[in-house]
Amino acid sequence: MHIPDGIIDGKTAATAAGLSMIGVGWALRRVKRELPPRKIPLLGLAAAFLFAAQMVNFPIAAGTSGHLIGGTLIAALLGPSAAVVVVTTVLIVQCFLFADGGVMALGANIFNMAILGSVGGYAVFRVTNSLLAGSRGRITAIAFAAWCSVVFAAISCAGQLAWSGTVSWRAAFPAMAGTHMIIGLGEGLISALVFIAIQRTRPEMIVDDTQPRRARELVVFGMVATLGIALFIAPFACPWPDGLESVAAKLGFESQAVANSAFAPLPDYQLPGMHWAIGATALAGVIGSLVVFILAMLLGWLLAPKKSGIKGNA
Amino acid sequence: MSSTLLTHHHSHAHSPIHRLPAALKLGAALILIVGTVLMPPDQIVWFISVLALLLAVLILSQLPLMFFLKRLLLLSPFVLGVALVNAWQPQNHVRWQVIALKSSLCLATVILVSNTTPFSKMLGALQRARVPALLITTMMLMHRYLFVLVEESERMRRARLSRTFTRGGRFQWRSLSTVIGQLFVRASERAERIYDAMCSRGWK
């Protein structure tokens, strides 16, 4: 999902960069204040870990493979501010060292993956975790949150593409959200499995952060994320499928509109299925989220360490 | 993909381009990229001059041509995807040829800079550009231990392969996750040792 240069235009890149600067600046401030000096090298090592972990390929059917993305996992392990710093570092190094993701699009990538992905995922993790008690609840929470974070980042990316005028929202949203709702399944499963593995070998590494202090940390991130959503996504997301068009269709104006835009080789609404694609994707999103949540609960129920196990911590 | 990226890096070679100051190369790259992205597609002169400049840099830097082309292709699937979707779009969206041209030029610029500048020099330039110190330290540590951890995960993979005969999917996912979990545990233990080492060498 690393956006390269040349795909998004100047205003989108500049806006996203501004939002990312606020978000990362806040995260750095929080980390400096909250993190004990002993943990400073851990940020760099966690970033290196994330990079190395992304190179471990998980086999999927038919010879394809996927890998961990990891923002939510890091957020659950180290807290949201540290996760923003870690994921941002990974993105900057990938950009400058490996030319993966554009320089001008760096702000957009940081906003999507580090801020919206990790912090959004963490927020879902906390809310779900507070609803469902015990280690089962925690595994459910991390799997569901990891799935959400991938989908959030993909939708925001689609919004940026649409705002740039590169790809229309009708094409970008179903394509990005649809594929990432599937990719997210792998991410949720891997995140949960890795989390369990760490919990099994080193239960003391997993902080039991039920203290409300962290919630305040989320307010600024939440504001940045909301502003981004308002700019990138909201202008496109309102029509369902498109208020005006459905009215026009009812009144029989549609044929006229098609005739008027005959100069375009493939106008949006002549593509089979495109007309309903956004509505269908949104609906699939709601159903999909429910299904994924149930799957995550099943996963938690299956994989949670038994009380009689090595460490029966609730 | 990433493993091929890791092993072939030419940032420590010697050429006139390699010897240029990092800040200059980064600044020039930034100007080229921003200019290319913002330039309206009918400004052919700009695109041709950027192309000529990049070709000149490529020749002067003595990077292997095949390596350069492979990197360019390897990193473009996103561009191809957008171009593909866009070819189906009505006219009022940016033409896919324009997108492909712009992003290829930008990509080539970054590949040239990153392969002619050692990362530590780049960080030095970023530091002088007032990037927060904590972020620089984190990037420095990440770059230093990136290769160590990648090798460590490779060793764990080999150890696992030499001990397991099963190739069943479900089992494999679980063991791969354990490897990643272990990698995190080892990384955090290493971070503790690094902190002690840093303190004993006078880090504030």
- The predicted-structure confidence for B2-13, as pLDDT tens digits, reads as follows 444 555 567 777
Q: Is A35 on the interface with B (CB under 8 A)?
A: no
For residue A250, give how far its alpha carbon lies from the nearest alpha carbon of chain B (Å): 24
Q: From CA B59, how far away is CA B55, in angstroms rounded?
A: 6
pLDDT at B74 over 80: no
The pLDDT value recorded for residue A211 is: 55
Phi, psi dihedrals of residue A24, rounded to the nearest 5°: -70, -35
pLDDT digits (tens, 9 = 90+) for A202-234: 887 776 655 555 666 777 888 888 888 888 877
pLDDT digits (tens, 9 = 90+) for A37-78: 888 899 999 999 999 998 887 877 666 777 888 899 999 998
Q: Which of B7, B8, B37, B84 to mutate to test the interface with A (most CBs of A within 10 A)?
A: B37
* CA distances to A294, A299, B64 from A137, in Å: 12, 10, 53
Q: Which of A97, A106, A202 to mutate to test the interface with B (most CBs of B within 10 A)?
A: A97
**Is residue A92 within 8 Å of residue A78, measured between CB atoms?**
no
Q: From CA A99, how far away is CA B74, in angstroms rounded?
A: 10
> Looking only at Cα atoms, what is the longest distance across chain B?
64
Nearest to B180 among A56, A95, A99 (CB): A56
ipTM of the complex: 0.89
Report the predicted TM-score, pTM, of the whole model to 2 decimal places. Answer: 0.85
Q: Flag if A46 and B34 touch (Cβ within 8 Å).
A: no
Higher local confidence (pLDDT), A302 or B137: B137
Of chain A residues 240-279, which have a CB less than 8 A from chain B?
261, 263-268, 271
Nearest to A48 among B93, B99, B146 (CB): B146
The pLDDT value recorded for residue A241 is: 44
- Please state, rounded to an integer, the average pLDDT across all residues of chain A: 79
pLDDT digits (tens, 9 = 90+) for A125-169: 988 888 887 788 889 999 999 999 999 999 999 899 888 888 878
A-chain CB neighbours of B9 within 8 Å are: 97
Angle at B162 between CA B158 and CA B167, to 5 degrees: 95
